[in-house]
């Protein structure tokens, strides 16, 4: 039967990173031998060619789910015997090892396997054991594979050794034939986002999805496939709003990262997006509070253009255009008038307009409105106006000061100050928000070192605050969603009397 071959790979911006399967929904397939480590010094070999739907490893047992003609084979060099929760899967005793293979032929079977605690329990002979991984783990394997039905669809999951993952779900009808998905780990071949994009990769991981059919590459499908990437709170850079995280794909023709419309589940630390093509993908977020800019000079990053018959000059960065307000700003970047390209109006119209900017080294993001700059004080305001994080450009002090600041206190900030004076949390709070209400929350949480060991009172709701809220919710029997909703507000109000 002809098969398409898909590969999902993750690349580390820090170099090669291996991955492991521990308690492990997602497909596991071995192209080289792997090891399951259990308590009591029991180390079992998973043979090359083994494939399972899921593999969950405990301290003394492991549970494996296998479908159809897939086969999962384990061996013991100490000739241990195997007890299974499903009949029909016995131990094969050989001279120097014992073996057990699980392959249902049709349907799906889930089997819990318990190896004997004594060696040489599978007849005479035997051999020594040896080292192995930590108890309850499976050693990393370089490649993972899965066959997905064109008729029924299916999914494959890459689970990394830090608990993050990338899942690709393929619906029925997206493929013309049954397809083998392969997951492998690479150490090069990516391009990091340029500094002027105001974006940063989260978790230092890039996932590559490739497909081959009959020796030719396949890059698109009849239906959208769904990507779900999981991340850790600790991987979110300081000041990057969690709600700004999106899945991006790498456009090799422009060497740029392009946003996919994404849904962020902050309680599950998961991001979902759909796509009908495959390339390299990554989670990118907006640089935020506390992030020091490493942007190259505006001069090096920009293209200058104007329309025929119009004296206004625009600077193009990351496919966004903004107007240079006066000659002082123009000269402050060291631009030369000879660098300006004159283009037809249609050429200028190809670029999106951005009015969002921030000064280098300053986390505040401003919107330019009616010739003045207005500080966007909250994530809710940013999102409500449909702004895009990738549209924010870093500018120098001369340009930011060319626009007078609109010194108006918003109703939200005024009410937050009043609430803070009352000493109560009265609004819902979540990652990316800042203000007096967040500060008040942090001051209260910091009183309990078990809940908020960092104890930082910054007024910014970042990963540490989210983790503290989860601990608070766990302590008081509230769903651990990591944000302050009605139930959490009620408990805080009760405790803050």
Q: 360 or 39: which carries more pLDDT confidence?
A: 39
State how far the Cα of 272 lies from the Cα of 411, in Å rounded to an integer.
Answer: 33
State how far the Cα of 433 lies from the Cα of 76, in Å rounded to an integer.
Answer: 54
Which residues are paired to 153 by β-bridges? 149
Considering the chain, what percentage of its residues have pLDDT values greater than 90?
10
Decide if 432 contacts 244 (C-beta within 8 A).
yes
Question: Which helix (H) or strand (E) covers residue 345, if one does?
Answer: helix 345-348
| DSSP, res 470 | H
What are the chain's domains?
20-139 (no CATH), 144-286 (2.60.220), 298-401 (3.30.2390), 411-495 (1.10.101.10)
State how far the Cα of 53 lies from the Cα of 374, in Å rounded to an integer.
Answer: 53
| DSSP, res 40 | G
The tokens describing 97, both together, are: 């090892």
Closest CA to 117 of 37, 39, 36: 39
Which tens digit of pLDDT belongs to each residue from 62-113?
999 888 878 888 999 888 989 999 877 777 777 778 888 888 877 888 999 9
CA 238 from centroid of its chain's CA atoms: 16
Q: 139 or 465: which carries more pLDDT confidence?
A: 465
State how far the Cα of 192 lies from the Cα of 205, in Å rounded to an integer.
Answer: 10
DSSP per-residue codes, 471-485: HHHHHTT----SSB-
Q: What is the pLDDT of residue 285?
A: 86
State how far the Cα of 343 lies from the Cα of 72, in Å rounded to an integer.
Answer: 63
Q: What is the mean pLDDT of residues 237-251?
A: 82
pTM of the predicted model, to two decimals?
0.48
State how far the Cα of 271 lies from the Cα of 283, in Å rounded to an integer.
Answer: 8
Q: What is the mean pLDDT of residues 301-319?
A: 83
Closest CA to 112 of 42, 55, 41: 55
Residue 263, number of CB atoms within 10 A of its CB: 12
Which tens digit of pLDDT belongs to each residue from 191-220?
777 665 678 888 888 888 877 666 666 778
Helix (H, G, I), strand (E, B) or coil at 445: helix
Residues with Cβ within 8 Å of 74's Cβ and at least 6 positions away in sequence, in order, are 36, 44, 45, 46, 47, 50, 82, 99, 100, 113
Tallying the residues shown for the chain, one arrives at 497
Phi/psi at 321 (5° precision): -115, 145
The tokens describing 156, both together, are: 């494959």
Q: Which of 282-286, 289-293, 303-307 has the lowest mean pLDDT?
A: 289-293
Helix (H, G, I), strand (E, B) or coil at 276: strand
Q: What is the pLDDT of residue 146?
A: 66
Which tens digit of pLDDT belongs to each residue from 387-422?
877 788 888 888 888 888 775 444 444 344 333 335
Strand-strand pairing, 393-395 and 356-359? parallel
Helix (H, G, I), strand (E, B) or coil at 252: coil
Strand-strand pairing, 179-186 and 4-12? parallel
The answer to whether residue 115 scores a pLDDT higher than 90 is yes
Decide if 353 contacts 322 (C-beta within 8 A).
yes
Mean of all residue pLDDT scores within the chain = 76
């Amino acid at each position: 039967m002809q098969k398409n071959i898909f590969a999902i790979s993750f690349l580390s911006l820090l170099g090669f990173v291996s991955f492991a399967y521990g308690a492990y929904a997602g497909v596991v397939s071995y192209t080289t031998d792997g090891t399951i480590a259990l308590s009591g010094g029991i180390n079992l070999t998973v043979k090359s060619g083994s494939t399972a739907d899921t593999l969950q490893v405990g301290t003394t047992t492991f549970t494996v789910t296998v479908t159809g003609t897939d086969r999962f084979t384990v061996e013991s060099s100490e000739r241990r015997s195997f007890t299974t929760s499903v009949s029909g899967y016995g131990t094969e005793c050989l001279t120097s090892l014992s073996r057990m293979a699980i392959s249902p032929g049709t349907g799906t079977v889930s089997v819990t396997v318990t190896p004997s605690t004594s060696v040489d329990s599978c007849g005479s002979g035997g051999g020594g054991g040896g080292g192995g991984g930590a108890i309850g783990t499976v050693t990393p394997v370089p490649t993972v594979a899965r066959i997905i039905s064109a008729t029924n669809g299916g999914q494959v999951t890459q689970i990394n050794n830090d608990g993050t993952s990338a899942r690709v779900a393929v619906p029925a009808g997206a493929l013309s034939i049954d397809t083998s998905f392969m997951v492998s780990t690479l150490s090069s071949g990516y391009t990091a986002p340029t500094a002027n994009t105001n974006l940063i990769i989260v978790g230092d991981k890039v996932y590559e999805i490739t497909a081959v059919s009959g020796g030719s590459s396949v890059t698109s499908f009849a239906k959208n496939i769904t990507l779900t990437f999981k991340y850790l709170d600790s991987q979110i850079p300081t000041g990057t709003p969690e709600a700004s995280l999106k899945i991006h794909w790498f456009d090799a023709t422009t060497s740029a990262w392009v946003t996919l419309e994404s849904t962020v589940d902050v309680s599950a630390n998961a991001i979902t997006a759909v796509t009908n093509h495959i390339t390299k993908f990554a989670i990118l977020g907006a640089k935020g509070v506390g992030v020091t800019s490493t942007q190259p000079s505006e001069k090096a990053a920009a293209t200058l253009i104007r329309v025929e018959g119009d004296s206004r000059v625009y600077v193009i960065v990351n496919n966004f255009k903004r107007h240079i307000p006066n000659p002082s700003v123009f000269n402050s970047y060291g631009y030369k008038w000879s660098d300006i390209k004159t283009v037809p109006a249609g050429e200028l119209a190809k670029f999106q307009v951005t009015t969002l900017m921030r000064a280098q080294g300053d986390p505040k993001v401003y919107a330019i409105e009616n010739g003045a700059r207005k500080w966007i004080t909250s994530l809710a305001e940013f999102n409500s106006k449909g702004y895009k994080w990738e549209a924010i450009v870093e500018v120098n002090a001369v340009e930011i000061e060319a626009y007078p600041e609109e010194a108006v206190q918003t109703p939200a900030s005024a009410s937050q100050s009043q609430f803070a004076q009352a000493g109560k949390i009265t609004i819902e709070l979540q990652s990316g928000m800042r203000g007096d209400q967040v500060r008040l929350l942090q001051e209260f949480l910091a009183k309990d070192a078990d809940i908020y060991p960092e104890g930082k009172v910054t007024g910014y709701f970042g990963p540490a605050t989210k983790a503290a809220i989860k601990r608070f919710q766990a302590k008081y029997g509230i769903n651990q969603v990591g944000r302050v909703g009605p139930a959490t507000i009620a408990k805080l109000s009760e405790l803050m009397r």
